[in-house]
Amino acid sequence: MATTGKQLFTTLDADGTLTVAIEDVTFPDPTGNQVLVKMEAAPINPSDLAILVGAADLENASYTPGKFVATVPEPFNAGSKARHGLKLPAGNEGAGTVIAAGDSDAAKALVGQRVSCVPGNAYSQYCIADASMCLALGDHTAEDGASAFVNPMTALGFVETARADRQDAMLHTVGASNLGQMLTRICKEDGIGLVNIVRKTSQADLLAGLGSTHVVNSSEDGFMQQLCSAIEDTGAFYGFDPIGGGHAVDTAFKAMEQVAVSKMTEYSRYGSNQPKRMFIYGRLDTGPTILTPSYGFGWTLSGWLLFPFLQSAGRETVDRMRKRVRDNLTTTFASPYKTRVNLDEMLTKEAVTDYRGMKTGEKYLVTPWS
């Protein structure tokens, strides 16, 4: 059986030329624990964008049906040296129907079922996926299950990470994102304190509507004071940031330290002893992270990524997390979409420019057969 279909590839050449194009591909038969999935829906997540478009100049790119060619400016091109010349697939996750399986019992059991999967080449009409990473969707639609992995498991991963560090509260610097909304629901369900930072009144209203008790708007006067007050209320000296560049982490550390210092009875030139911990899990801002010397030495900042976390968490924890996602797919973990595009449509100037903007509540869904 030779299965052929369309798949997206992204190639960055050494001179900074980025070519993203749909090609016809022959998919191999699945072996062992693999399944072959006819893909029905795949989201465009912020974590997909780095490899899909990165810092490319989309305004001056050339667009033809099923293809665009753009230039990636320096220093971003040199920073991507490791991928120069490689033709890479894209799309972390999606959902579709299993049409063939390898020899393993787990793989064979999925044939004919609709599943959520994490193939890494989800912008494609077919994917080879690992059965152990598939989630059988039952009666759910492909759209219900398309985003069942990256954001749900990341949000649950934050809670697992915080609990492992014996924290019962956390701060999130982009509260109103799709992931932020899931985190808000999870923390509410689990009784974990959560400080949500947003940029707009509409985002604050949205989170308040989800029951978030500590929403702080960075565009308002008195933001810093409100942030300190929310940290003091919740005890959130621990947080997660998808922005990466600029002062997002710095602001969080500053506020945490101000709260800690306000409780000190004696001056210390070294700042408070309150441990402060932040994780950067994304790069919405690709500029450098700026850390000012304003919070002593009692702080730790780490990168955080889903796959290394899952590896270290172990099978039992991961299975428990996945069960929770499946049981609450259209409630706690629901993902709304702004637009549906097929593989050709996702490479038009209008579409690429729009989804690269990563605006809150404007996620794209790729439906490769539409």
Residue 224 in contact with a second copy, rule: CB under 8 A? no
Our CB check for a second copy shows the closer of 43 and 145 to be 43
DSSP-based three-state secondary structure for 97:
strand
Among 144, 298, 343, 346, binds a second copy (CB under 8 A): 298
Q: Figure out which of the listed residues 4, 294, 353, 370 binds a second copy, where binding follows CB under 8 A.
A: 294
Task: State how far the Cα of 223 lies from the Cα of 112, in Å rounded to an integer.
Answer: 53
Of 307 and 369, CB closest to a second copy:
307
Measured CA distances, 219 to 204, 222, 244 (Å): 11, 9, 19
Using the minimum distance from each CB to a second copy, give the nearer residue, 89 or 361.
89
- Judged by CB under 8 A, the stretch of 151-159, 280-288, 313-321, 332-340 that binds a second copy is 280-288
> Do 49 and 124 touch, CB atoms closer than 8 A?
no
CA-based nearest residue to 46, from 240, 286, 325, 216: 286
Does residue 51 belong to the site contacting a second copy (CB under 8 A)? yes
Q: Which stretch binds a second copy (CB under 8 A): 28-36, 134-142, 227-235, 263-271?
A: 263-271
Residue 297 engages a second copy in binding (rule: CB under 8 A): yes
Q: Give SS3 for 311.
A: helix
Nearest distance, CB of residue 51 and a second copy, angstroms = 5
Rule CB under 8 A: say whether 269 interacts with a second copy: yes
Scan residues 75-104 and list those touching a second copy (CB under 8 A). Answer: 79, 82-83, 86, 88
Rounded-to-integer distance, Cα 128 and Cα 111, Å = 13
**Element housing 183 (H / E):** helix 178-190
Q: Are 227 and 197 in contact (CB under 8 A)?
A: yes
Cα 76 to Cα 16: distance, rounded to the nearest angstrom? 9
- Is 286 a binding residue for a second copy by CB under 8 A? The answer is yes
DSSP reduced 3-state for 24: strand
Alpha-carbon span 157 to 323, nearest angstrom: 14
Other beta carbons within 10 angstroms of residue 183's beta carbon come to 28
Mark the segment that binds a second copy (CB under 8 A) among 151-159, 229-237, 285-293, 325-333. 285-293
Query: For residue 226, which phi and psi values (nearest 5 degrees)?
Result: -65, -35
Residue closer to a second copy, measured from CB, 158 or 337: 158
Does 2 contact a second copy by CB under 8 A? Answer: no
User: 94 and 126 in contact (C-beta within 8 Å)?
Assistant: no
Interatomic CA distance for residues 192 and 160, integer angstroms: 11
Distance CA 57, CA 49 (A): 14
Tokens linked to 6 = 């369309």
Residue 284 engages a second copy in binding (rule: CB under 8 A): no
Q: Considering the rule CB under 8 A, would residue 290 count as an interface residue with a second copy? A: yes
Q: Interface mask (CB under 8 A) for a second copy, residues 299-328, using x and -?
A: xxxxxxx-xx--------------------
Of the pair 126, 304, the CB lying nearest a second copy is at 304
Q: How far is the CB of 269 from a second copy (least distance, A)?
A: 5
Q: Which of 283, 324, 326, 349 binds a second copy (CB under 8 A)?
A: 283
Interface residues with a second copy (CB under 8 A)?
A: 50-51, 79, 82-83, 86, 88, 244-245, 250, 261, 264, 267, 269-270, 273, 280-281, 283, 286-294, 296-305, 307-308
